[in-house]
Amino acid sequence: MAQQQIDLQIGGMTCAACSARLERVLNNREGVEARVNLASERARLRFDVSRNSEAELIAAIERAGFSATPITETSRTETQQQREAEMRHEWRVFWIAALLALPLVGQMLWPHAMLPGWLQWALATPVQFWAGARFYRDAFHSLRGGSANMAVLVALGTTAAWGLSTATWLLNLPGHLYFEAGAAVIVLVRLGKLLETRAKSRTSSAIEQLLHLTPDTALVERDGQFVSLPVRELHIDDRIRVRAGERIPVDGIVLEGVSTLDEAMLTGESMPIAKTVGDRVSAGTQNLNGSLLLRAECVGSHTQLMEIIRLTEAAQGSRPPIQALADRISAIFVPVVIGIAVLTFCAWWWISGDLAHSLIPAIAVLVIACPCALGLATPAAVTVGLGRAAQHGILFRNATALETASRIQALALDKTGTLTCGRPELVALKPAGISADHLLRWAAALESGSSHPLASAIVRAAPTDLPAVSAFRETPGLGVEGNIDGNPYRVQAGEPDASHPKATWLALWQGERLLGRIALADPLRSTSALAVSRLKALDIELWMLTGDNPKTAEAIAHHAGITHWQAGIKPQDKLAHIAQLKEGGKITAMAGDGINDAPALAAADISFSLAAGSDIALEAADITLMRDDLNGIADAIDLSRATLTKIRQNLFFAFAYNAAAIPLAAAGLLNPVIAGAAMAMSSVSVVSNALLLKRWRPH
């Protein structure tokens, strides 16, 4: 079964009922799996191409009363321009409607200045049926689709107020005219939706900032000359010149030049990174102080920056488990509110016998109920939180990972490449009867023929003018040997030394004569001890799991500040330890970077991988840190807890608002105009609260 995935920009959604209805319409089609995000107004569809086409799915969305535009690199700009034009139009409609409604609302403040009935009708009617046309249109599409949304509530309430007032005026019936109620509600709700749209656009500003990191043009070599071309016209293997102050347009390799790059927006690394010939650079990073010549390896949509954007947008479109309750309530919210409004009307009519007086509290119930706040509570916070994480080099696979990270109780850490740098370094030379220089040069000459990580460490530390080696031979597990100046030498494992308990010792021999010993160690990352301290402060139980020898493991654990550790264990032992922690009732995380960590990463409730890790580890991880610093784990947990706090605050506010406001409206204690203003501001408050996550900074 051939599968295709598309991302669509959706227009016309007004509340959670809209996004739920659109999801239902799409998921009811055979072979389609859809997720709709109200906050970002996007849908992600995965479908069977033998049963559906992109055009058919877009047509189904349009029949449901919404617009849909495929999201591509080109359409992003076009969609933004179109939305800006729509916003300008919406603001014009609002201001005209507000001017028409102002004299009507003025009667509430100055009852002695009551307008004649014909003038009230003339002012209210264009507001009701021109400015309010979008509510009728949205309500029609919603009801035709078999559900009811916020527009149904607004259309019912305001039409009832306008209809009753028109009948009272035309038939000269006794009673008050309520033209101001319907007109004011429409104006206030339109204002609320405009402010909500503006706030919602800011929830995705992190992605917009990432998109703007890549320059529009680049200096590319063509026929021996460097010419300025649009970035979309670049190809793999193009030679590109990047001057000081410019941003890197591609992922590539430095061919010429030395400079430092600001990678903060890509990896979260605050310090500039030095780059020279042979180093890799990434699109979107900024060249600070030197001219670089690059060879392009990845261009356009295939760069690491675009992959980060795709992963983040996919995660923003997913749902955390905490949203399940809000989804269930949103599905029945509007029908329940309509039922409460009908009961309110009947109760007041039975008590008072006054039709007009009975209709006003029912209208207040309709217009004060707010499914929008309920529907935006979770996705708004998730969108801001995940975007903020991406800006600081923390990539969550989905919203479930974001929620789970907030509840971590135990964390298992691999040693090599996670707590440590993952690259052995020379730490000590102990010559025996020869100089330290000869010990290092002869050992490096022998090891230059080996690809072992320890051999590479010795060669890196030695001078470049090494003596020639003949008759080289490497025996796995035993070391290397060969002839230098006609004399036989060999390097093999040496005895441990208490002076460097974290080190691996190698010995250089000439025949049966020991010439000296060399200590190599994989050093603890400079940031690991601080990260461990921060994780402990978050009340997380830490374990170090390593296949290294106990003495080295004990020394690393001690310097890192970890009290629980296991050494000399195999991948299946790590897996068993993760299972044991989970069986103890702890939400357990695993952080690693190697192939041997993949089983434990997959088994943990949530897993972390450093960007330098193996592809298998990155594939298995729920959260990827774009820089090799365990402080990123503490940052991810801190951000996830901050995001979940905002979600809980939003859900509480949305539930409490409706739980308190609807009874007050039913009791006749709220004027419909006040009710409309409260409803309009409730969703704005929820989104604004989510936007406070923009203040979050990594420690």
* CA-wise closest residue to 248 among 293, 208, 215, 206: 215
Tokens in use for 657? 């608002």
The SS3 call for residue 27 is helix
**533-538: long-range contacts, CB 8 A cutoff, minimum separation 24:** 533/561, 534/631, 534/634, 534/699, 535/411, 535/630, 535/633, 535/634, 535/637, 536/561, 538/634, 538/637, 538/638
C-alpha to C-alpha distance for 309 and 311, rounded to whole angstroms: 6
How many Cβ atoms sit within 10 Å of the Cβ of residue 54? 15
- Three-state DSSP class for residue 681: helix
Taking alpha carbons only, the member of 453, 35, 391, 438 closest to residue 213 is: 391
CB atoms inside a 10 Å sphere around CB 301: 13
Catalytic residue (one of 238, 251, 414, 628): 414
222 DSSP β-pair partners: 225
Q: Give CA separation, 557 vs 408, 532, 546, in Å.
A: 21, 10, 10
Q: Could you tell me if 589 and 604 are in contact, meaning their C-beta atoms sit under 8 angstroms apart?
A: yes
Beta bridge partners of 623: 396, 608
Pairing of strands 541-545, 564-566: parallel
Distance of alpha carbon 56 from alpha carbon 61, whole angstroms? 9
Structure tokens at 251: 């992922």
By DSSP bridging, strand 3-11 and strand 67-70 are antiparallel
Q: What angle do CA 431, 437, 438 make, to 5 degrees?
A: 75
Q: Which residues 6+ apart lie within 8 Å of 289 measured at CB?
A: 244, 259, 260
Q: Based on the residue annotation, tell me whether 638 is a catalytic residue of this protein.
A: no
Given a contact cutoff of 8 angstroms between Cβ atoms, the answer to whether 488 and 470 are in contact is no
Place of tokens 């916003």: 87
What the block records as the tokens of 83 is 């939305």
Each as own residue / partner, the long-range contacts of residues 361-364 (CB below 8 Å, 24 or more positions apart, any chain) are 361/665, 361/666, 361/667, 361/668, 361/670, 362/157, 362/160, 363/157, 363/158, 363/160, 363/161, 363/178, 363/181, 363/672, 363/675, 364/157, 364/665, 364/666, 364/668, 364/670, 364/671, 364/672, 364/675
3-state secondary structure of 173: coil
Structure tokens at 360: 């006003």
Task: Return the active site residues.
Answer: 414
